[in-house]
Structure 1
Amino acid sequence: MCRWAAYTGAEVFLEDIISTPAHSLIAQSQKAVKCKTATNGDGFGIAWYGRRQEPGLYRDVYPAWSDCNLRALVHQVQSRLFLAHVRASTGSATSRNNCHPFTAGKWSFMHNGQVGGFEKFRRHADMCIPDELYEHRKGATDSEVLFLLALREGLDADPKGALERAVARMEALSRARGCTPHMRLSVAMSDGKTLFAARYSSDSIAPSVYYRWSESMKGWAVVSEPLEDTGEAWNELKPGEFLTLTPKGAETQPFLPVTE
């Protein structure tokens, strides 16, 4: 299982989430505690928003803990909204194109979990991606397909509904052609203005997600694992919930993919 962290709020240095906290994302790449595998060394990535509508993107195949360029970048770059991910592959190759986050236009997307038996129906999943979006299919992961299907389903107009429909389609493919667990998912995604997250599973094991307001940073963090214990309580996103984070606050709604 992968680990990820995202932030929205006042402009901060990326290191305030990625490398500085006691249990930062880089620390989690070696010593994760809320998943089966403690090591997440199959690459990393960051998508951050600045003055342009489209996010910047930096990804590589090195373990996050061993890349000095990553530490130098997060020490200097500031952003009001960013997504960061350390990868533990569930089967696809370790390559830059398979590292999260994925981007298309103004949208960025990252995922932790799996779609059971994806390698058995990858061609069928790819065929669900419309021609106008297929140019964004760079890698071989189930996560990238899920992102492109959500775009197909209308992320701009209905982020929650679009993701629900995309997850339902992928889960249905897994039930028809794959194997269990059909869907385990924690997702963070953004259009550059709002940060969204979701937690869901077709069984009883949903990847962990936590969020909180940081008074020191004046912003929201949403993470796979708490970054540190500073006395500020972390809220756990419950399985089957969708989270919307804006400067006005946090809103949770039921997240209910409907499969046939």
Structure 2
Amino acid sequence: MCRHLAYVGPEVRLGELLVAPAHGLYRQSWAPRRQRYGTVNADGFGVGWYAGGDPVPARYRRAGPVWADLSFADLARVVRSGALLGAVRDATLAGADAEAAAAPFAAGTWLFSHNGAVAGWPGSLAPLVASLPPAEVLALEARTDSAFVWALVLARLRAGDDPGRALAGTVAEVAAAAPASRLNLLLTDGTAVTATAWGDTLWYLARPGGGTVVASEPYDDDPAWQEVPDRTLLTASRTEVLLTPLKEPSDTLAPASAEESRT
């Protein structure tokens, strides 16, 4: 159910991370190796990146499969960035939202992606609608579970939560309302990457030339890839990764502070 990848580090061509690797996000659109739910990710794709010192990212999104878009292959060959987020989508339910439903979602300096599905959507999250201002509900970019989860995360960010608390709190809130949900969330502001492993695979890689990649699955067979345990919050800079266990919804919404590990 979708694959995504985020990177912060020295400038690279987008294609170096998304297209060129033997098992990169491009290939994961039709042949993922570790995807537990679904088989292909051909219901849209997107990439957001930061360039030229501008804190607001650019985005390129389409409704169809990434392999059918020759313009993307050309763009990825030449565009360079020190921070990006890319995703390929396997739709949970059929819909008419087209590229608006494709990650990354964006607001201000933020890029966001959701790998997973909300169980019982949309009815299961109806009680959470009241937690959002009506204007934000009406402004949802797409009528999908991922877009709604993004609205919940964004509301926390705007209320002053740091990225880790915003993701951890949202995961706890959604998991309490829809317990069988898979909530691997990915968030970046171009300086750091924050992610959750909740019901699906998540990995990270410290690149030899510098920089950190966080992804649904490894894009090559480098033994340096590290798998993130389930129920974990990940925070990554260009040089460091911090893993914090997440508590179940019955506990506090804040991420656990004990048993933290640094790599």
Q: Shorter-chain TM-score category?
A: 0.7 to 0.9
**CA gap 1:74/1:136 in 2 versus in 1, 3 angstroms:** farther
Secondary structure of the structure 1 residue equivalent to 2:157: coil
Give the AA of the match of 2:81. S
Secondary structure of the structure 2 residue equivalent to 1:147: helix
The 8 Å contact of residues 234 and 241 in structure 2, kept in 1 or not, is answered as: yes
Give the AA of the match of 2:65. P
Which residue in 1 is equivalent to 2:22?
Answer: 22
Which residue in 2 is equivalent to 1:75?
Answer: 77
Which residue in 1 is equivalent to 2:208?
Answer: 215
**CA gap 1:129/1:212 in 2 versus in 1, 3 angstroms:** same
Which residue in 2 is equivalent to 1:178?
Answer: none
- Structure 2: which 5+ runs fail to align? 252-263
The 8 Å contact of residues 167 and 185 in structure 2, kept in 1 or not, is answered as: no
Deviation of 1:149 (Å)? 0.9
Structure 1 Cα separation of the partners of residues 130 and 60 of structure 2: 28
Which residue in 1 is equivalent to 2:255?
Answer: none
Aligned residues: 247
**CA gap 1:120/1:157 in 2 versus in 1, 3 angstroms:** closer
Q: Does 1:8 align with 2:11?
A: no
Deviation of 1:183 (Å)? 1.5
Structure 2 Cα separation of the partners of residues 23 and 142 of structure 1: 27
Instruction: Show CA shifts across 1:10-41 (max 9, x none).
Output: 01000011100000101010101212333110
**CA gap 1:134/1:55 in 2 versus in 1, 3 angstroms:** farther
**CA gap 1:125/1:208 in 2 versus in 1, 3 angstroms:** same
Instruction: Give me the CA root mean square deviation.
Output: 1.9
Deviation of 1:253 (Å)? 1.0
Pick from 174, 194, 197 the counterpart of residue 195 of structure 2: 197
Instruction: Show CA shifts across 1:214-246 (max 9, x none).
Output: 114x211111111011x4421001101111111
Which residue in 1 is equivalent to 2:166?
Answer: 162
The 8 Å contact of residues 4 and 216 in structure 2, kept in 1 or not, is answered as: yes
Which residue in 1 is equivalent to 2:186?
Answer: 188
Deviation of 1:131 (Å)? 4.1
Which residue in 1 is equivalent to 2:240?
Answer: 249
The 8 Å contact of residues 206 and 239 in structure 2, kept in 1 or not, is answered as: no
Pick from 61, 64, 68 the counterpart of residue 62 of structure 1: 64
The within-5 A match list for 1:221-236 is 221-229=213-221, 231-236=222-227
Runs of 4+ with >6 A deviation: none
TM-score by length of 1: 0.88
- Structure 1: which 5+ runs fail to align? 176-181, 201-205
Structure 2 Cα separation of the partners of residues 10 and 136 of structure 1: 35
Deviation of 1:145 (Å)? 1.2
The 8 Å contact of residues 34 and 208 in structure 1, kept in 2 or not, is answered as: yes
Deviation of 1:122 (Å)? 5.7
The 8 Å contact of residues 196 and 234 in structure 2, kept in 1 or not, is answered as: yes
**CA gap 1:52/1:240 in 2 versus in 1, 3 angstroms:** same
The 8 Å contact of residues 232 and 245 in structure 2, kept in 1 or not, is answered as: yes
Give the AA of the match of 2:225. W
Secondary structure of the structure 1 residue equivalent to 2:76: helix
Which residue in 1 is equivalent to 2:107?
Answer: 104
Deviation of 1:170 (Å)? 2.1
Structure 1 Cα separation of the partners of residues 46 and 7 of structure 2: 14
Give the AA of the match of 2:170. A
Structure 1 Cα separation of the partners of residues 16 and 138 of structure 2: 34
